[in-house]
Chains A and B, each alone.
Chain A
Amino acid sequence: MKDNMSRRRFLRECCWGGALGAVGLAAGFAASKAAGKDFVWQIDPFKCISCGNCATYCVLEESAVKCVHKHAMCGYCKLCTGYYEPEPVALDTAAENQLCPTGAIGRKYVEHPYYKYSIDEKLCNGCAKCVKGCSAFGNGSLFLQVRHDRCLNCNECSIAVACPSVAFVRVGVDKPYLIKGQAH
């Protein structure tokens, strides 16, 4: 009886050691290629097709994806295809001529014949209408980026799941943006 008990215990110990070893092995294998830094989600602006999913699929009520403007690339056009509806009636700042549904793009005269366009991020909903307009016939200086002050960095980003062009990628936390015209 006593012998039986100790055999049982021995078996237990073996199993225990085995389990610990297995956990350690799996962890070690994973750790061998683990990275100390974390990863965050970002949009590759060159793959983005401005489908509009970013505005609706984010788990946040107000998407973490916003439009950003790379001013150095901008043509400062008087007729900005990212700002104006197709065939605008007049080139002013009236609501009926604006493309942005939330009025998040500001337009300001700089010098003849240039106009500056800037994004009010509080209003932007990431619908990418302006991105589409800008990249079709402008320079593509308007593009979407995940804003990391808002992004929860979900393990499985639900916009990434819904992204038709696989534009969502994981990037290192040390270089969390993919800004056009900058080396990465």
Chain B
Amino acid sequence: MIRRLTGFASIAFAVVVFACPALLGAVNVPPPEFEGDYVLPKTEVPGPRENLLEYVDVSVLVLALSLSVYFVYHKRCRKGVFLLMMVSLVYFGFYRKGCICSIGAIGNVSLSLFENGYVIPFLALLFFVLPLVFTLFFGRTFCGCVCPLGALQDLVLLRPMKVARPVESVLRLLAYVYLGAAVWFAATGSAFIICRYDPFIGFFRRSGSINMIVFGACFLLVGVFVGRPYCRFLCPYGVILRQLSRLSKRKVTITPDECVKCRLCEGSCPFGAIETPTAEWPGETYRVNKKLLGVLILLLPVIAAVGVWAGGFVSGSASRVDARVRLADRIFMEDAGTVEGTIDASLAFRASGAKVEDLYSDADAIKAKFKTGGFFFGGFVALVIGLKLILLSIRFKREDYIASRAGCLACGRCYSYCPREHVRLGNVASANGGGDL
């Protein structure tokens, strides 16, 4: 036995020097045949969450969306909206820990559209599609009532401050860039950046990396003063909903019937979604604007082309988001001697016995995908900017105070500011005197 032991000890020593990965199927010590009545214990395998519960998730989503329509349009009731929001926050946020989520589903859908090997779970698909369909009919009631990320920000909004229109215009571009990048990276099968950088998921899970917690806390802190900063300036799903909401069958109206232009609702929207009546522009500017509009329309292809070029230019660096490209770069640099030492990933690759040529051709294929994606990404962002500039040069005529189709989150805050609403509710006796309240 002593001899055996020393033999083993030397083997054990070799382990230190020979830090090797799991060596496939190497049975070094044949399993014993017991003489006694020893029973082999079973390896426990606790199951995941029941698949059935996903139907519950979808049902809750549909119910919440339906209720949101009921509260926003039928009841015109902020309290109901708020309550629904809180229920959603608790269910989708704290109970389901923020995952499954419509925003993150953008990644799954993009990947499934572009990557043949990826199979999207129905749950993710439904969470992506249902709010879109509801938005086409009823506007962004998902944002205002159902989304747990929105709910959390809405909850902490205590001292709303106005964000100047120009600042808002430029900040909103970030959301388009984020959406473009999210689709770009997901479609290439590289990363789900929306999920990776979800600022609030740490709160939902009640744990997370300190960086993400601090990031989320900063967002919430800003959210005390600026209404829903993530929704307005970053949310990539919100960007899609914005555009669909422009076409929605129904839209939120501040007044239940007619606008009396009392200006009471003007400051009521913490999200800057109330559009004021337009005034006559000073004589000269109309002509100048018309000319500018023409120039911008002509310039649109140029702007788009610049975007396409920039997207292609940035794609090489962007492809490093992909782990396989990073690995190929690393292996190449290690082999060329431009970097010192090895990392876990390169060691694992080298120990796998895989061909470096395969790695390089994979990485090149991914880079090519990134390049194509980069053209689209750059073109998309530039086009958005161009169209934004054009929109800013078109003079829309408004006579009433209205909720912006795109920007309104259907939170129902403005209702109670409208004197007509109070008339409707019977709080005020006189139908005509409402404006003087």
- Given a CB threshold of 8 Å, the question of whether A touches B is answered with yes
Q: Which residues of A contact B (CB under 8 A)?
A: 12, 15-16, 19-20, 23, 26-27, 29-31, 33-40, 45-51, 53, 59-61, 68-79, 81, 84, 86-88, 91, 110-111, 113-114, 116, 118, 121, 131-133, 135-140, 143, 145, 147-149, 151-156, 158, 161, 164-166, 173-174, 176-177, 179
Contact, CB under 8 Å: A35 / B192: no
Asked if B132 is an interface residue, CB under 8 A from chain A, the answer is yes
In whole angstroms, what is the CA distance A60 to B207 when docked? Answer: 6
17 interchain pairs (CB within 8 A)?
A: A12-B247, A20-B136, A23-B133, A33-B120, A34-B122, A34-B125, A38-B51, A38-B123, A46-B24, A60-B207, A74-B31, A111-B36, A118-B41, A135-B22, A135-B26, A138-B29, A161-B196
Q: Which residues of B contact A (CB under 8 A)?
A: 1, 5, 8-9, 11-16, 18-32, 34-36, 38, 40-49, 51, 54, 97, 99-101, 104-105, 107-109, 112-113, 116, 119-125, 128-129, 132-133, 136, 191-192, 195-196, 201-202, 205, 207-209, 243-244, 247, 249, 323, 343-345, 347-349, 351-352
Sort A-B residue pairs by CB-CB distance and give the 3 closest, nearest first.
A75-B29, A165-B348, A148-B48
Chain B residue at minimum C-beta to C-beta distance from A149: B46
How many Å from the CB of B87 to the closest CB on chain A? 21
How many Å from the CB of B260 to the closest CB on chain A? 24
Contact, CB under 8 Å: A135 / B32: no
In whole angstroms, what is the CA distance A23 to B54 when docked? Answer: 22
Contact, CB under 8 Å: B40 / A136: no
Contact, CB under 8 Å: B35 / A39: no
Contact, CB under 8 Å: A164 / B11: no
In whole angstroms, what is the CA distance A181 to B9 when docked? Answer: 28
How many Å from the CB of B44 to the closest CB on chain A? 8
How many Å from the CB of B249 to the closest CB on chain A? 7
> Known contacts being A59-B205, A72-B31, is A179 close to B113, with CB within 8 Å?
no
Known: A136-B19, A137-B14. 12 other contacts (CB 8 A): A30-B109, A31-B125, A71-B41, A71-B42, A137-B11, A139-B31, A145-B45, A151-B48, A154-B99, A158-B196, A158-B209, A174-B51
Among A23, A46, A87, A147, which residue has its beta carbon within 8 angstroms of that of B22?
A46
Chain A residue at minimum C-beta to C-beta distance from B104: A155
In whole angstroms, what is the CA distance A161 to B303 when docked? Answer: 36
Chain A residues within 8 Å of B123, by CB: 38
Chain A residues within 8 Å of B46, by CB: 147-149
Among B40, B129, B192, B344, which residue has its beta carbon within 8 angstroms of that of A156?
B192
